[in-house]
Amino acid sequence: MKVLVVDDSLAIQESLGHLLAAIPGVTVAGYAEDVAGALTGIRDLEPDLVVLDVELRGADRGMDVLLHVVKEHPAVKVIVMSNFTWAAMRSGLLAAGALAYFDKGSEFLLARDWVASFARAHAHAHAHGPAP
């Protein structure tokens, strides 16, 4: 299962990439730090899952990426990992189509578990479904 990490922090990209890559069946296909990079990555890398930050490089908004994916690539799943802890932010993004919202600083282990679970389900679906 291919994962695209979209975050403007290079430190996060690396640490989160390392964390996710450690999950069996997960491949970190690439990284993006702004909307344009994210859209290119989604188009070129065809990830199964996008791990998205709310704020991106150059005042870009993660919401725009989410909305694009929902509209243009409905097969691609999106979860949000953010340092914003406000309920409003959380509910706003979930409503817009994100599958999950994790606090980057305190819920990254939950996020890892969620991704692991998603990866298992993905593998199962691909093992029993039609060949890719």
Partner 1 sequence: MLVAVFLQTPERLRVIAERLDHDNEGQRRAQAILITLVDLKTGQRGDLLTHEQSQLPPPRSAQERLDVELAELAALIAADPAQASDLERLKSAVAAKRDEARAALSRISQRLVQDAAAHRAEQAALLDRNIAISSALLAAIAALMVTIHAFVRREKNLRDQVARREGDAKTELERLVQVRTGELDSAMRALALNESRMRGILESATDAILTADEGQTIVMANAAASATFRIEIDALMGLRLEQLIPQPFRAKHKADVQAFADNHSPARHMGRSREVTALRADGDVFPIDASISYASVGGQRLYTVILRDITERRASERELLASKAKLETALASMTDATSIADNHGQLMDFNDAFVKFHRYSSRNECQQSLADHASLIEVSLPGGEPAPVGAWAVSRALRGETASNVEFGLRRKDTGERWVGSYSFAPMRSKDGELLGAVVTARDITLIRQAQTDLEAAHVELQRLVAMRDTVQDEERRRIARELHDDLQQSLAAIRMDSVAVEGLLPDTTGEIGRLVRRIDQLAAAALASTRRIVSDLRPELLEELGLGYALQSLAQVFTERTHVPCTVTAGADVDELLGSAPQAATCLFRVAQEALNNVAKHAQAHRVQMTVEQGGDTGITLTVRDDGRGMTEQDRRKPLSFGLLGSRERLRALGGSFRIESAPGKGTTVIAELSTKTLSDRRRH
The answer to whether 116 contacts partner 1 (rule: CB under 8 A) is no
Sequence-distant (6+) residues with CB within 8 A of 100 are 79, 80, 94, 111, 114
The answer to whether 55 contacts partner 1 (rule: CB under 8 A) is yes
**Nearest one of 63, 61, 55 to 91, comparing CA atoms:** 63
CB-nearer residue toward partner 1: 21 or 99: 21
The answer to whether 95 contacts partner 1 (rule: CB under 8 A) is no
91 CB neighbour count, 10 Å cutoff? 11
The answer to whether 89 contacts partner 1 (rule: CB under 8 A) is yes
Stretch that binds partner 1, among 27-35, 66-74, 85-93, 113-121 (CB under 8 A): 85-93
